[in-house]
Chain A
Amino acid sequence: MLEVSALSVAYGKHQALRDVSIVAAPGEIVAILGSNGAGKSSLLKALAGLVPKSRETSVTLGGKDISRLRPHEIVEAGLALVPEGRGLFGDLSVAENLQLGAFAKRARQGEADRLARVLDMFPRLKERRAQMARTMSGGEQQMLAIGRALMSSPDFVLLDEPSLGLAPVVTQSLFSILGDIAAAGTGIILVEQNTRASLRIAQHAYLLENGRIVGQGTAAELSADPAVQRAYLGL
């Protein structure tokens, strides 16, 4: 279980997140929906330890408190972020990026098997192993970023707008792979503006507005909610 409660983040005087609480079960896809500037990226960055959280914030993963850990310790605990802009090492090869994904001590055992699984999942990466990461297309880079996160053997991956800048058909195949990843036991916290595609693969979703949670429910409930349909699905 990933349990987040009373999460607040402030950048100077600007309050980006206020008292946010979310829960995700193992192997579950939880979507965080909201418009630009709602605080979605701040939420993931805070969970990954990239921005400071307020003192009241509590984040636990499998019962272990990870609220005060530094970024590398959070990966070690089982939470892997694929940041906005993907955070790849552009001058390093695809193979080196994947190898670095398994730098965490928790990921050393079974590394070869995991690499084989990731390459099966994203066959393009297999073809391009020796290529420098920054010379690949946006879709391929996104696959590499997700593959690299999976190499750390995470309990949950945090995905920040994976569909951004991708062609609809690429997004579609990417989202179906996300479904497979969750089905194999790795939970996903999915931050997206693409509400429709997200609700299709998610079990639960939270609605974020101006740094607060303003609604939540199962994906089916939210898809059927007239207010959500108006505001997020454009129906």
Chain B
Amino acid sequence: MLTNAILSGLTMGGMYALVAMGLTLQYGVSRIMNLAYGEFVIAASFVAFLLFTSGGLSPLVSLLIIVPAGFAVSYLVYGILLTPLVRRARSREALEADSILSTFGLLFIVQGLMLVFFGGNYTSYSYFNTPVQILGTTIAANRLVVLGFAVLFGAACYFFLMRTRTGVALRAVAVDPIAAGLVAVDVRWAAALAFALGGAIAVTGGVLVSMFLTFNANIGVVFTMKALIVVIMGGVGNVAGALAAGIILGLVESFVATFVDPGLTIAVTYAVFLAVLLVRPGGLFGTAK
């Protein structure tokens, strides 16, 4: 039971960490508080479901289509919907407030479209759902695949942000956009790129989620909330913090569900969140400003 709790905690935690990394890019670099973030996750789940059931396409293959599409759609959303707000905003704080309102609207548009196309029922499909024995416990193979991919994508994003020139430039914009302009970083370009990359990460999460969870058109907000908690817990704009906080959250949820009561997971999630904020207001890895 313990190994099982750890494994499923790591799977969920890996998902949270991955999904939160996209939000921390969008929020930390582009200063867009994207309330429709979870809708992008779930929309990708539906597309993966559709491609699997009607096209017979494995979700791992459909990643090759869905991830670039998520990038492109997010880039367009930024260019068409959010750029006017960016140009008009007098300060980053003003942009944050404006973006909350407009992405709140976007949330309902995307949710409405999903309801029209897929209805309100819970959806799931069975992919690679064979039990495997590992470390003396039984777990569905798809969860292991998801864990592996979450680690892979998470590591790739981490490497990109920490080690490549473009990644360091994005982090520089998150720290100080004016100073970033002074080292020849085109801040508008960086914001658009970060938003699109965040969207690509969101849809990656959505495809992986669809492989082992049931989902419906209304649960996007759950992912937005969880990602937000992870981002704030890890320290806004802090990639390593998001990774750590995501995995901690997954493990805590899994342990509470296994050993205490599944109904308490959300309450415990928020308790951990509050405790972290009380002790370290800037987040686990954040710097108090």
Cβ distance A157 to chain B, nearest Cβ, rounded Å: 11
A92 touches B168 (CB 8 A): yes
B183 touches A100 (CB 8 A): yes
User: When A50-B178, A87-B179 are in contact, do A92 and B184 touch as well, CB less than 8 Å?
Assistant: no
- Residues in chain B near residue A48, CB distance under 8 A: 182
A89 touches B287 (CB 8 A): no
Stretch of B56-64, B107-115, B169-177 at the chain-chain interface: B169-177
> What's the interface size class on A, roughly?
20 to 34
Cβ distance B192 to chain A, nearest Cβ, rounded Å: 14
A75 touches B186 (CB 8 A): no
Residue A175 at the B interface, CB < 8 A? no
Alpha-carbon distance A90/B176, docked complex (angstroms): 9
Alpha-carbon distance A148/B172, docked complex (angstroms): 13
Cβ-defined partner of A103 (8 Å) among B176, B178, B184, B287: B184
A92 touches B175 (CB 8 A): yes
Cβ-defined partner of B181 (8 Å) among A70, A92, A99, A107: A70
Alpha-carbon distance A20/B23, docked complex (angstroms): 46
Beta-carbon contacts under 8 Å, B165-220 to A: 165, 168-169, 171-172, 175-176, 178-187
B176 touches A87 (CB 8 A): yes
Cβ-defined partner of A92 (8 Å) among B165, B171, B182, B187: B171
- Residues in chain B near residue A105, CB distance under 8 A: 184
Cβ distance B279 to chain A, nearest Cβ, rounded Å: 20
> What's the interface size class on B, roughly?
10 to 19
Cβ distance A121 to chain B, nearest Cβ, rounded Å: 18
Alpha-carbon distance A50/B181, docked complex (angstroms): 9
B175 touches A103 (CB 8 A): no
- Mark contacts of A72-111 with chain B using CB atoms, 8 A cut-off: 1 yes-contact digit, 0 otherwise: 1001100011010001111110001001110111010000
Instruction: Indicate the member of B178, B181, B185, B287 with the most A CB atoms within 10 Å.
Output: B181
B287 touches A91 (CB 8 A): yes
Cβ distance A142 to chain B, nearest Cβ, rounded Å: 14
A72 touches B168 (CB 8 A): no
Cβ distance A53 to chain B, nearest Cβ, rounded Å: 16
User: Nearest chain-A residue to B177 (Cβ)?
Assistant: A71
Residue A42 at the B interface, CB < 8 A? no
B168 touches A100 (CB 8 A): yes
- Residues in chain B near residue A90, CB distance under 8 A: 175-176
Cβ-defined partner of B182 (8 Å) among A75, A91, A96, A99: A75
Cβ distance B182 to chain A, nearest Cβ, rounded Å: 5
Residue A193 at the B interface, CB < 8 A? no
User: Nearest chain-A residue to B188 (Cβ)?
Assistant: A70
A100 touches B176 (CB 8 A): no
User: When A88-B179, A89-B175, A91-B287 are in contact, do A99 and B184 touch as well, CB less than 8 Å?
Assistant: no
- Mark contacts of B122-138 with chain A using CB atoms, 8 A cut-off: 1 yes-contact digit, 0 otherwise: 00000000000000000
Cβ distance A104 to chain B, nearest Cβ, rounded Å: 4
B184 touches A89 (CB 8 A): no
User: When A91-B287, A92-B171, A99-B168 are in contact, do A83 and B182 touch as well, CB less than 8 Å?
Assistant: yes
Residue A186 at the B interface, CB < 8 A? no
Alpha-carbon distance A83/B187, docked complex (angstroms): 17
Beta-carbon contacts under 8 Å, B45-60 to A: none
Cβ-defined partner of B176 (8 Å) among A50, A89, A104: A89
Cβ distance A232 to chain B, nearest Cβ, rounded Å: 29
A100 touches B172 (CB 8 A): yes
User: Nearest chain-B residue to A82 (Cβ)?
Assistant: B182
Beta-carbon contacts under 8 Å, B5-52 to A: none
Cβ distance A186 to chain B, nearest Cβ, rounded Å: 16
Instruction: Indicate the member of B168, B179, B187 with the most A CB atoms within 10 Å.
Output: B179
B179 touches A83 (CB 8 A): yes
Alpha-carbon distance A44/B94, docked complex (angstroms): 27
User: Nearest chain-A residue to B187 (Cβ)?
Assistant: A72
Which 6 A-B pairs rank lowest in CB-CB distance, beginning with the nearest? A104-B184, A71-B181, A87-B179, A75-B184, A89-B175, A72-B186
Q: List 26 A-B contacts (CB under 8 A).
A: A49-B181, A50-B178, A50-B181, A70-B186, A71-B178, A71-B182, A71-B187, A72-B184, A72-B187, A75-B183, A75-B184, A81-B182, A83-B179, A87-B178, A87-B182, A90-B176, A91-B175, A92-B171, A92-B172, A96-B168, A100-B168, A100-B172, A100-B183, A103-B183, A104-B183, A104-B184
8 further A-B pairs in the complex, CB-CB below 8 A; given A83-B182, A87-B178: A75-B181, A87-B176, A89-B176, A99-B165, A100-B180, A103-B169, A103-B183, A152-B184
